[in-house]
Amino acid sequence: MCGIAGIVEQKPGAAPARDVLERMASLLQHRGPDDQGIAVRGEAGLAHRRLSIIDLSGGHQPMEGAGGALTIVFNGEIYNFREVRSALESKGAAFATRSDTEVLLQAYAAWGERCVERLNGMFAFAIWDAPRRRLFAARDRLGKKPFYYALTADRFVFASELKAVLAAPGVPREVDPEAVDEFLSSYYVGGARTILRNVAKLPPAHWLTLEGGRLAVQRYWRPTFRADDPPRRDEEYQEEVESRFRDSVRRRLISDVPLGAFLSGGVDSSAVVAMMAAEGGPRVKTFTIGFEEAGYSEIEDARVVARHLGTDHNEHLVKPEATAILPNLVWHFDEPFGDSSMVPTWYVCQMARRDVTVALSGDGGDELFAGYARYQRALADRRWSCIPGPIRRRVLAPVVDALPMDAPARNRLYAVAHHSALTPGYGLGLYPYIKSWLYAPGMRERQGNGNGNGDGVSTAELERVDLVSRLQWIDTMSYLPDDILTKVDRASMAHALEVRAPLLDYTLVEFMATVPARLKLQGGVSKVLFKRLLAKHLPASVFTKRKQGFAVPKGTWFRNELRGTARERLLDPRTLARGYFRPEAVREILTQHEEGKRDYSDWIWCLLVLEEWHRLFLDPDTRRV
């Protein structure tokens, strides 16, 4: 794992300043504390911070190839680099190191842009092709590793994190109000958009070229949900999934540094640990986070699995004062991020890093095997589809809109009335009627409709597959990279910890897209096929426990220990003067939550994060860049 950054000057004869590249690299030091490298090649400058995982003595970056014609900076791991290396050696390539970085560089030299189609891994990289005066950059299929960039009249700037982009001269800091609205709608700013108008993200499964001042972005992969023809027997699906899953875990055990795993006691993380244990070798080191509040902690569930698999188990209890790390969280996440599970994720990464440099996680299991409860809600709400959409919107919607703000069923009825199951993160975020009540005058007029599906795909396209597959597809293309994987990347890299997700091996993702929906969700039971194949590896309690997620007891915290903190920050004149929200609405949210009339903790958390972000990244007297 590493941090990358770079500049390509657009004016003839200009060269990037080394001190600017060093400043950009210094802001990424947490991602790579082991080494730093800077290279200036004509109008291009590349910077790198390294966390050494494979070939500890080799693999220094920026790395040159093709007789100095190519220079690369690379963040991530290529799990099939040995196979790719063998293919290149059969074409006459020779290697000076054991690193996957050199394999990647030579793959580009041999196959050009199409090299990314041969890679199995998590990555974001950039290659400067000096003879062509061309920059080529790419991001992995599922979006595990980030890539921010900005193109101004003077230069193209890129980095692993937004803060490093802002360290380059001339990058404007103008907030995009539609991005603020998207943050409050989904808890994140997704796709190519960022919180700033003039900075973008390279989306997952895309490559980018900059040549002659022209910027081009192109998609190279997308999962396709389709039924097998002819369909296989259930046993054949199960055998294939188990084989691919084992191979995926095995690939992610390659490391020259200590390695462990996160363990929540749920199906996905327990499955990963079970496969690690089945590979033999030293006892697997496992790490679990819990809370004092009843109903939130999974520590005992994790202990059951750890004892069953014989792991070297470690635990940490998160307490309310943990939110004192909010400034650090917001700083490392770069953009406003409203998923409060960032808190326990931060602490489990911090704990794991004391013993290991690499950890495996169960991320992706809910998208892969249809584990989210909202999928079951969507199926239950499908009965309303017999009512034509225009009638639902014109007749049912006004009735729903007339309900009191604190009516318990209002959110659910709103989703039915507006048929919002096809939006990213279905069931998450603040519904439009809530935002209309919260926003200050004029704020709504600055927004778009906020109802994209995250990938520019039409509803007609999505309706060619069953509802479960449709929701899986949307989550895989939006919620997974923009929430789950963003959370894990930022929290782990803040502690120089590499996290690998075996369930997100793209070959497994592609195969699961062919598995019938009935083997994912059936009769209210989720992850049907996955649970069947795991039954011989895990205790029965794993499959009967209530699905819990990585929730934080912030409702209790904001009514008690953190009550004063929230009120002081959100009613600060400096906060209210930003003009996003009506002061009386903010006061009502805080009061009703404190009095226990309704749980507004998600809203309070999002507003706190948004305000902290402004202070760390925008306000001249407090910003850190």
Lookup: tokens for 328: 């650090």
Lookup: tokens for 181: 């609205």
Q: Using CA atoms, how far apart are residues 563 and 91, in angstroms rounded to an integer?
A: 65
Q: Which residue has the higher pLDDT, 421 or 196?
A: 196
Lookup: tokens for 129: 């092709």
CATH superfamily placement of domain 2-219: Aminohydrolase, N-terminal nucleophile (Ntn) domain (3.60.20.10)
pLDDT-based confidence at residue 453 (cuts at 50, 70, 90): very low
For position 55, what pLDDT does the model report?
A: 67
Q: For residue 2, indicate whether it is catalytic.
A: yes
Q: What's the rounded mean pLDDT across residues 287-306?
A: 85
CB-CB contact of 349 with 494 (8 Å): yes
Indicate the domain borders of the chain. 2-219, 234-370+475-544, 553-625
CA atoms within 13 A on the CB side of 83: 8
CA 59 vs CA 46, 81, 396, 413, 421: distances in Å: 15, 13, 61, 56, 46
**Contacts by 201-204, CB closer than 8 A, 24 or more apart:** 201/146, 201/147, 201/148, 201/149, 202/124, 202/137, 202/138, 202/139, 202/147, 202/148, 202/149, 203/139, 203/143, 203/481, 204/139, 204/140, 204/141, 204/142, 204/143, 204/477, 204/481
Pick the catalytic residue from 2, 115, 349, 606: 2
pLDDT tens digit sequence for 105-157: 999 999 999 999 999 999 999 999 999 999 999 999 999 999 999 999 999 99
DSSP state of 381: H
User: Which of 159-163, 387-391, 428-432 shows the lowest mean pLDDT across its residues?
Assistant: 428-432
State the average pLDDT for the chain.
Answer: 89
User: Which of 240-244, 333-337, 522-526 shows the lowest mean pLDDT across its residues?
Assistant: 522-526
pLDDT-based confidence at residue 465 (cuts at 50, 70, 90): confident
pLDDT-based confidence at residue 454 (cuts at 50, 70, 90): very low
Q: What's the rounded mean pLDDT across residues 513-530?
A: 93
User: Which of 12-26, 373-387, 550-564 shows the lowest mean pLDDT across its residues?
Assistant: 373-387
3-class SS of residue 464: coil
For position 302, what pLDDT does the model report?
A: 94
pLDDT over 80 at 444, yes or no: no
DSSP state of 386: G
Residue whose C-alpha is closest to residue 204's, from 16, 367, 26, 41: 367
* Residue 41: alpha-carbon gap to chain centroid: 32
CATH superfamily placement of domain 234-370+475-544: HUPs (3.40.50.620)
pLDDT-based confidence at residue 322 (cuts at 50, 70, 90): low
pLDDT-based confidence at residue 408 (cuts at 50, 70, 90): low
How many helices (H) does the chain have, and how many strands (E)? 27, 19
At residue 438, φ and ψ (nearest 5 deg) are -80, -35
Give burial (CB, 10 Å; 0-12/13-18/19+) of 323: buried
pTM of the model as a whole: 0.92
Residue type, 202: L
